[in-house]
A and B are shown apart, each in its own frame.
Chain A
Amino acid sequence: MTELMENYNGFLVPAISFIQGYYAYLFLLALFTIGLYAMMMKRNLMKKIMGMSFIQSATIMFWIVAAYKEDATVTVYHQPLGLENPDLYLNPLPHTLMLTAIVVAVVTLGLSFALIVAIYRRYQTLDEPLLLERMQ
């Protein structure tokens, strides 16, 4: 006896398919939440930047999961497969956009590290309450 649940199209499917279909989304949601927690609650600026990196990674992987198709191959033209049926290749657009996003993520990380180095040179600390105290 399998439990049945209604999927997003309104069809009844076995409940186990929800774990198979959504575990990646749930894992990435957890990763995003950890990053958000680190950015908001941690006192050390370095750990805040690590949280930002978590959020970027989660977002990028979310798009890559959205590009995945069952039984599809990589987005390189392969003669025997032809080009008429798009279901045979993964969706190339999210991959391209995330390639751009990775480059921008590297730039934001580098820039925030530069700012951290400048802050440390001036105040000799990265701890946020201590930093606010020394800025008075």
Chain B
Amino acid sequence: MATLELPPRGDVTAPVHQTVNKAGDPVAGAYFIQNAYRDAATPNMVTVILADYRSWDTLGEVVVVFAGGMACYFILRRRES
């Protein structure tokens, strides 16, 4: 079972939770914890990542929602015929 090769739930030694990875580069999760408040002066780290570090991603998300809404409108409208 491939599931048993994963780090168990709540393991703080899992690779995603480390400060630096095996190649010596900083890991995103720990970097955001340590620098989010310093960079944006907002206590909520999820807010900082969503609206500051990944704001372009959030803009793309808004475009997806807009496209979905427009598609729903064009599918559901009653055509004149």
Contact = CB atoms under 8 A, between A and B. Distances in A.
Contacts, number: 125
A114 interface: yes
Interface of A is mostly: helix
A103 interface: yes
Given A89-B33, A96-B54, A110-B72, A69 B12 contact: yes
B57 A86 contact: no
| Number of chain A interface residues as a range | 35 or more
A87 B29 contact: no
A17 B8 contact: yes
A24 B49 contact: no
Identify which of B5, B9, B28, B37 gathers the most chain A CB atoms within 10 Å of its CB: B9
Contacts of B58: 100
B3 interface: yes
Contact of A107 (B3, B16, B38, B68): B68
A77 B50 contact: no
Interface of B: 3-14, 16-17, 19, 28-30, 32-38, 43-46, 49-50, 54, 57-58, 61, 64-65, 68-69, 71-72, 75-76
